[in-house]
Each structure stands twice: as C-alpha cells, then as structure tokens.
Amino acid sequence: MDAKTITQAAQHAGQLASPDYVAADWRDFYALTKPRVMSLVIFTALCGLLAAPGDIHPVIGFTAILCIALGAGGSAALNQWYEADIDAGMKRTAQRPLPAGRMQRDSALHFGIGLSALSVFIMGVAVNWLSAGILAFSIFFYAVVYTMWLKPNTPQNIVIGGAAGAFPPVIGWAAVMNEVTLLPILLFALIFIWTPPHFWALALFMKSDYAKVGIPMMPVVAGEKATRRQIFWYSLALLAVAAAPFALGLAGWIYGLPAIVLSLVFLMLATKVGFRQENDPARMKPEKQLFAFSILYLFVIFTVLVADRLAASGVLA
Amino acid sequence: MTDEPQQPDYNDPETLKKLRERQSSRAKVMGLGLVALVILFYLITVVKIGMT
C-alpha cells in the first residue's frame, strides 16, 4: 500500500476505536501532545526567550512558553489525527492512542484544533501578535505543510519540514523583543540544519518501518549511500552555522568554544556514518550513536548560548 | 486497513462503570485546567494593568 492510499484511507476512516473502547482517558490526550518532543520545543523556546537582550515580566514569559507548548501539543495531535493509519503500521508508533484504538479520531481532531487556537489566541492577547503570528504559522507548517503535503510525497520531507521544529527559539525571542533579528534567525538555521542528520540517522536503522508504510524517507527512496553522504554534508554545514553566532560577534567564548568542539564531534560521528556501508539495522551502532549524540548536542549548544548571553548581560556576574 | 466504528455496550454494568470512571477523571483534569487558566488570566490582567 502506497503513502497516498494510506493517507486517503486515514482521511475517510471515521474512527479507529477498538472493540473494548469505552472513552479515551485523559492520559491518552496527554500522549497525543507528544510530550517528549514537546520538552525539546519548550527547552529551545525558553533558550530563545532567555537569550533575547530585553526584559519580560515572568508571568508574561511563562505565558509565552506555555502557549508555545500548547501550540506544539496541538500540532502534534493534528499530526497523529492525520497519520493514524500510518502510525498503526509502524512498530515505533503503533501504541499511540489512535492506532491502539483507545481514542476516536474526531476527539483527536477537536483536541488538536482547540489547543492550537487557544495557544495562538492567548499568545496574541497576553504577549504580542508577532509571536502569535509566528506560532500560528509554525502550527500550520507542521500540521498541514509537513504532515499532509511533504511527508507522504517527497524524500525532502525532513529537510523542509525541519523548519517547523526550528521556530520555537524565534517565537521565544519575539515574545521578548517583538522583533526578529539575526541571532534568532541563526538559531532557526541551527535547528533547521541539525534536523536532517538527526532524523536520517534514525531513518537508517528504522528504514524497514518507514518502507512498510510507504513514507518516502531518504534511505527508502534515494538509498542508504546517498543518505549517508547527505548526513555528512549537513553535519559540515552544521559546524558553520553553529560557529556563526561566535564568528559574527553575537556570542562570546562561553558559547563559541563548546559549540565548535561539539560540532566537530558531531562531524566526526557523521563522517563515520557517512562513509560506511551497513545494511543490517542490528549492526548500526555508529548511526545510533549519532542519533543519541544529536539530541545531547542540541541541549548543550542552546544551554551554553543562554549562559553566554546571561554572562554578557551581567546576570551571571 | 481501519476498523469499523465500534459502539460499546452501555447496558453492560462493567462497561458503564468504566465509562463513568473515565468521564470522572477527564472532568477532574479539565476542571484543574480551567482553574489554572482562570488564575493565569487573572495574573496576566494584573501584570498588564501594572504595565500601563
């Protein structure tokens, strides 16, 4: 079954409830928001907010982060509503509330729309309309452009779709400054360039899962060799983007040194993955190492950026 | 690919009990969420008034 057929089936299916379905538990609604992904979104948004050279009242700052989290949760729910049938075919996602039959599809749709609308509205009223506008666009980008259009149709899905995950630090910055300058754009670029090697490392050892449900991930469509080369080139670009805030004088050594060292380690792991040949997922240790390190990389690089900015503003002095 | 919509048997006491438990826990979580929103809106209003 190809991706188009699967998504059409998903669109026309009324619900996926199992025979023993009674009513969805609140924990299922919580699971619908992809809490683990949300934690990374909250973290990068908070870093964007803290790195901004302005003042924001703690209550307004908390509200901004809450809205970004709610928006991320809403778009994740819409993603799962649309992809329920695809999720059912993959081991990694089969136990989500919809494919496992613990929730009706319409409930997920209403929950996703409600959460998204609420987040944008509160952000606009309480924080500012620039950050609300970027938040609304990022939700639309993830739920519609990425989930419905890019993901089932092109192996470049992760490359362009990665933009959706790159918005949070920009929104955090805009919440404080009510404008978007070069540094938040570089933070956007950092996540944007980081996303393909991060996901393709995962896709290499989960290739069979994606192939089974017809999602045209790079290893499935272009082959492993091309994917490995792409991982290497993106990691090289990541080194340049990560070093840019320091090179352009937007951040100091507290950021610059760890960012360059971590990016070189990233590149080293990516080189190992990029120039080897291995088809057996059970023997893909370097790919798993790169995937695990990429998550740590993003957390550390954003942390040192915030430390650098706070030190520069005298908060840590 | 997908299952047909299933209608639980609400005449079954076990099913009804399970339904009420789920509804109750969802209502409690929803109630807590609404109270949190009320407090948040109150604080936002106080901060916004203070700013002007």
Read off the pLDDT of residues A85-102 as tens digits, 9 standing for 90 and up. 888 888 888 889 999 888
Q: Which residue has the tokens 């991930």?
A: A217
- Does residue A9 surpass a pLDDT of 70? no
- Does residue B21 surpass a pLDDT of 50? yes
Subunit contact B6:A23, Cβ cutoff 8 A: no
Reduce the DSSP state of residue A248 to 3 states and report it.
coil
- Does residue A116 surpass a pLDDT of 90? yes
CA distance B43 to chain A (A): 7
Please tell me the pTM assigned to this model. 0.86
Tokens of A55: 């003042």
Q: For A28, which residue in chain B has the nearest alpha carbon?
A: B26
Of A6, A18, A125, the CB nearest to B3: A18
Mean pLDDT of A216-223: 80
Taking the Cβ of residue A3 and every Cβ of chain B, the question of whether any pair is shorter than 8 Å is answered with no
CA distance B44 to chain A (A): 7
Residue A54 CA, chain-centre distance (Å), reads 26
Of A25, A125, A126, the CB nearest to B25: A25
Q: Testing the interface with B: which of A15, A21, A25, A26 to mutate, by most B Cβ within 10 A?
A: A26
Tokens of A2: 């190809």
**Per-residue confidence (pLDDT) for residue B25, from 0 to 100:** 92
Tokens of A276: 């080897």
Q: For B3, which residue in chain A has the nearest alpha carbon?
A: A16
Mean pLDDT of B11-40: 91
Q: For B18, which residue in chain A has the nearest alpha carbon?
A: A22
Subunit contact B6:A63, Cβ cutoff 8 A: no
Q: Which residue has the tokens 């900015």?
A: A309
- Does residue A144 surpass a pLDDT of 80? yes
Of A19, A21, A59, the CB nearest to B47: A59
Mean pLDDT of A148-153: 86
Of B5, B47, B51, the CB nearest to A14: B5
Q: Which residue has the tokens 């948040």?
A: B40
Reduce the DSSP state of residue B11 to 3 states and report it.
coil
Subunit contact A59:B22, Cβ cutoff 8 A: no
Of B3, B40, B46, the CB nearest to A16: B3
Interface confidence, given as ipTM, is 0.83
Residue A132 CA to residue A77 CA, distance in Å, equals: 19
Nearest alpha-carbon partner for A118 in A136, A134, A92: A136
Mean pLDDT of A241-257: 97
**Per-residue confidence (pLDDT) for residue A17, from 0 to 100:** 55
Instruction: Please give the torsion angle defined by the CA atoms of residues A235, A240, A243 and A245, in that order, rounded to the nearest 10 degrees.
Output: -120
- Does residue B29 surpass a pLDDT of 50? yes
Sign of CA dihedral A220, A31, A291, A67: positive
User: Within the 10-39 window of chain B, which residues sit less than 8 Å (CB to CB) from chain A?
Assistant: 15, 18-19, 22-23, 25-26, 29-30
Reduce the DSSP state of residue A156 to 3 states and report it.
coil
Q: Testing the interface with B: which of A22, A81, A105 to mutate, by most B Cβ within 10 A?
A: A22
Subunit contact A57:B18, Cβ cutoff 8 A: no
- Does residue A60 surpass a pLDDT of 80? yes
Name residue A281's amino acid. P
Largest distance between two CA atoms of chain A? 62
Subunit contact B2:A13, Cβ cutoff 8 A: yes
User: Within the 61-100 window of chain A, which residues sit less than 8 Å (CB to CB) from chain B?
Assistant: 63, 66, 84-85, 88
A304 near A258, Cβ under 8 Å?
Answer: yes
- Does residue B20 surpass a pLDDT of 60? yes
Residue A67 CA to residue A115 CA, distance in Å, equals: 9
Residue A127 CA to residue A68 CA, distance in Å, equals: 11
**Per-residue confidence (pLDDT) for residue A145, from 0 to 100:** 92
Tokens of A84: 């329920």
Cα-only R_g, chain B: 20
Instruction: Please give the torsion angle defined by the CA atoms of residues A239, A243, A245 and A246, in that order, rounded to the nearest 10 degrees.
Output: 170
